[in-house]
Amino acid sequence: MIMTETRLSVIIPVYNSATTIKQLVERLQLALKEISFEIVMVNDNSRDHSESICKQLASLYNNVHFISLRRNYGEFNAVMCGLNWARGTYCVMIDDDFQNPPEEIVKLLNTAENGSYDVVYTYYAKKQHATHRNLGSKLVNWITSYLLNKPKDLYLSSFKLICREVVQEIIKYQGPYPYIDGLIFRITNNIGKVQVSHQKREEGSSNYTWRKLISLFLNILFCYSSLPIRLFMPIGLGLFTLGFFLLLFLVGQWVIGPDPKGWQVVTATFIFIGGIQCTLLSVLGEYIGKSFMAQSGQPQYVIKYNSRQEG
């Protein structure tokens, strides 16, 4: 375990945040001034001038660490990069859109320390997300309750706090498809929650598109659970039984008349066999593809700039 005097690491995945990141860092400096803390910003290949602003902030504040990635790897990969470089006893993840006020971080830290929790999630009295993101969040929370044994009353917010011991276990995962919440539930069930305020975005729109939500859904479904492939066993047996009795019925018709038409037998047989093959090949293809990518050595991220190394 890494020994550290830093009480808290604040990890910020940065993407097209040129209009907000400076204000967020300034508010964090004020909100956490009574705490020994650091800020770890990870630029996920923003298309605006976020990188230059983050470099300026890293040179201005001694407790700000900035990393820039060579291409866009996604939010979870950026957070994994930040966790690998964080030094705090606790790590908190926060977005740069101010929907979660940085002043609420102290509430998470106090909850973790007073309750001796490994992880603290946040929840909201009223969410200010867009409709599609709320629907996506409900879907993700539903499937994780069944696939990952998540408590049904626990909301998987991106604004959460994790203790150092759990972080050390999370960063052992080297695959290209990290899902932070899935890794957390593999490691611990000592999880607390705390209500925080949730505000409307101050700038721009959410980066969580339908495409990203679907990608997250498939990532959870095929990378963090074997349940999907297990479900096809009873489905396959059910189709086999149905087909068996259907063919038995057609044989009975052939014996006692009237004879079944040939196209009926052929069509039923092809639909039955083809449906099973296509379904199983689709599922197996997902697993084989993910396994191939996981074993191919594809990195979670590649660092282009690191303020600590440059300094």
| Amino acid code (one letter) for 205 | S
Q: Give the span between the Cα atoms of 178 and 219, in whole angstroms.
A: 9
List the alpha helices (DSSP H) in the chain: 21-31, 50-60, 75-85, 105-115, 131-147, 164-170, 180-187, 210-223, 227-256, 262-295, 307-310
Q: Do residues 120 and 161 touch, judged by C-beta distance below 8 A?
A: yes
Residues 200, 278 within the same domain: no
In a domain, 284, yes or no: yes
User: Does pLDDT of 215 surpass 80?
Assistant: no
CATH number reported for the structural domain that contains residue 165 in this entry: 3.90.550.10
Asked if 96 and 236 sit in the same domain, the reply is no
- Domain coverage including residue 288: 227-295
Residue 205 located in a structural domain: yes
Is residue 50 domain-resident?
A: yes
pLDDT for the residue numbered 248: 75
- Residue 280 carries which side chain, given as an amino acid letter? L
What pLDDT is stored for residue 230 in this prediction? 59
For residues 252 and 286, state if they share a domain.
yes
Structure confidence at residue 1 as a pLDDT band (50, 70, 90): very low
For 181-185, the CB contacts below 8 A with 24+ separation are 181/144, 181/148, 181/150, 181/156, 182/144, 182/148, 182/220, 182/223, 182/224, 184/119, 185/144, 185/148, 185/149, 185/150
Task: Assess contact for 74 and 66: CB atoms under 8 A.
Answer: no
Structure-block tokens of residue 203: 């700038």
pLDDT of residue 3: 44
Tokens standing for 82?
């930040």
Q: What percent of the chain has pLDDT over 70?
A: 70
Does 215 share its domain with 269?
Answer: no
Query: Is residue 2 one of the residues assigned to a domain?
Result: no
Residue 245 lies in a domain: yes
Residue 1 lies in a domain: no
Residue 3 lies in a domain: no
**How many structural domains is the chain composed of?**
2
Report which listed range, 129-133, 170-174, 225-229, 276-280, is most confident. 170-174
Residue 183 domain flag: yes
Distance CA 165, CA 149 (A): 21
247 — pLDDT class (breaks 50, 70, 90): confident
Are residues 136 and 282 located together in one domain of the fold? no
The reply to whether 137 and 236 lie within a common domain is no
The helix/strand/coil state of 41 is: strand
Does 207 lie in the same domain as 75? yes
- The C-alpha atoms of residue 235 and residue 63 are separated, in whole angstroms, by 56
pLDDT of 206 higher than 60: no
Angle at 61 between CA 305 and CA 26, to 5 degrees: 110
Do residue 141 and residue 86 come from a single domain? Answer: yes
Residues 115 and 186 in one domain: yes
Same domain? 108 vs 18: yes
Between 300 and 110, the more confident residue is 110
Peptide linkage before 258 cis (omega within 30 of 0): yes
Model confidence at 147: pLDDT above 70: no
**Same domain (yes/no): 116, 85:** yes
Average pLDDT over the chain, rounded to whole? 81
Same domain flag for 167 and 53:
yes
**pLDDT tens digits, one per residue of 217-240:** 666 666 666 666 656 657 766 777
Torsion angle of the four alpha carbons 90, 93, 99, 105, in this order, in degrees rounded to the nearest 10: 10
pTM above 0.75? no
Residue 153: closest CA among 192, 118, 183, 186: 192
Among candidate residues 158, 18, 165, 177, the one with its CA nearest the CA of residue 99? 158
